[in-house]
A and B are shown apart, each in its own frame.
Chain A
Amino acid sequence: MTDALRGEWLKAWSGKAWIVLLVCGTYMSLMTSFGYGSEGDKALDQGSGDLAAVTDDVVRAWMMTFLFASLYGAIVVTREYGSGSISRSVLVMGRARLFGAKLAVGALMGALSGVVAVVFSVLSAWGVLTVYGRDFAWTKETTLIAVGLFACNVLAAPWGVFIGWIIRHQIASVVTVMALTLLVDPGLQRLAPKAASYLFTIALSSVYRDVGHTLLSPQTALLVIAGWLAAAGCAAYRLLRVRDLT
């Protein structure tokens, strides 16, 4: 298994996918941070907000990085189907070890994305509010949000990996991950908020302590997320075992 992990680790850094997604995730989160900072500044000027809540919003904006962690997970699997190198991976590592190695490396890359998200969220809390001439108010809640950001990235990358194994097509899996995160789950959340709180990406909202929606407690959400990952993982592994590699 060590050899498989070493091979997959080298693959993980090959190509431009990781840097492109990292830059996109950072840029979008930074823009959102500034958006929350701007809105918060206006609210504070009008006396209708508090600095701790604005700091939380600026930090929470970095939750967007989990979308890119999911996309990375999906791409790291499906690009091998595109090139045909998946057959060699199966020949060299075997299906079980390949599945385990991709999952482990995907989760590790998710953890790195989480570290980047946490570091930049702290920097943006300071930097964005400094731009508006304010200090930031870091509270215990802000720390929990930052921890949630890290956890969401770690959990989202395997989700993308599993979707990649199930769909086996790069564009289709990228569209699926984006549609679930940005369209389907939020749409269902508007239609049936309570039921939607059990969806994977909405349950992640509980982990990064989103506000203003009907959400599960973080503990329940983690159980729900574990259930989704277990179900997707079982489906992905079964399909990898039975489907032909043509």
Chain B
Amino acid sequence: MSDNHEAPNGAPVSARLGIWAFLATELLLFGALFTAYAQFRITHAELFHQEHLKLNRVLGALNTLVLLTSSLTIAIGIAAIRRGLQKLLKVCLSLTLALACGFLFIKYLEWSHDFHMGWFPRTNLFFGLYFMMTGLHGLHVLAGMGVMIWLLYKAQRGSFSAEYNTPVEITGLYWHFVDLVWIYLFPLLYLIG
């Protein structure tokens, strides 16, 4: 008896189950970092408060906006290809890629400012966590961009249609997850009361 009946329109159950299980591992990967954050924020409350003031809230907020918008564009892309709109999918993937580049560029500006000011991972526990968490998140953004370039290449060759769009859908789920991690990172690192 198979649970693998085709979903109404979209990815088969196996692909969906696979990506959700993968996202569960990602959650635990970041979970340990959040645990470390919780512990050190309790034991070093004063340090965390002082150091977080050094981060640029405006750039952080801007990046939140950029990444949220990219989640919107890829969601529109999925809705588009489900209706068979190949051209709109390509536009949406390109926009998502551009926004991801924008996110990393802003991150680059922030990090180079930090390095210029002499704030490194070894500086203290707050910056150690800041660089580890945003760094690991940045790697996930990069990985997502790699996948989207591949999707764009496939879309260019007309591989996706209303009937077959599994890779687009599961990449979308991954991208929303990456977005979600940032939504937690932003207040925890930039907006400590």
Partners in one complex: no
